[in-house]
């Protein structure tokens, strides 16, 4: 726990004390409850967000530069069209190239 000291005007303190007394709890509890309601904890990140963070932290994911972002936004190609174009290009599939670059398993 962290302790926080506040300088309150006598009027504000009296209002807090009166409210806490009415509800039957200490002033500290009243303030902590109010803050917790005002600022609930953030929702935990979803699986996709966690995966992106892990990949970025490992240096395996970077943001596109402004030019590539612009080109991606302007593209009208569908996933099937891109897949077909890559198939026609020949050469090794990307998955095989990745496996070769990884080297043998230890």
pLDDT in tens, 32-43: 999 999 998 888
* Domain definitions of the chain by residue range: 47-102
- Which single residue is written with the structure tokens 């080109």? 71
Q: What is the pLDDT of residue 106?
A: 65
Q: What is the pLDDT of residue 46?
A: 93
Q: What is the pLDDT of residue 19?
A: 95
pLDDT in tens, 8-35: 999 999 999 999 999 999 999 999 999 9
Residue 62 has pLDDT above 90, yes or no: no
The pTM assigned to this predicted structure is: 0.43
């Amino acid at each position: 726990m962290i302790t926080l000291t506040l300088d309150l005007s006598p009027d504000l303190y009296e209002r807090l004390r009166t409210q806490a007394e009415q509800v039957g709890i200490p002033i500290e509890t009243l303030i902590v409850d109010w803050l917790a309601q005002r600022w609930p904890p953030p929702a935990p990140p979803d699986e996709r967000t966690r995966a992106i963070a892990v990949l970025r932290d490992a240096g395996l994911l970077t943001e596109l530069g402004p030019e590539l972002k612009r080109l991606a936004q302007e593209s009208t190609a569908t996933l099937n069209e891109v897949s077909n174009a890559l198939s026609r290009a020949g050469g090794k599939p990307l998955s095989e190239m990745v496996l070769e670059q990884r080297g043998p398993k230890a």
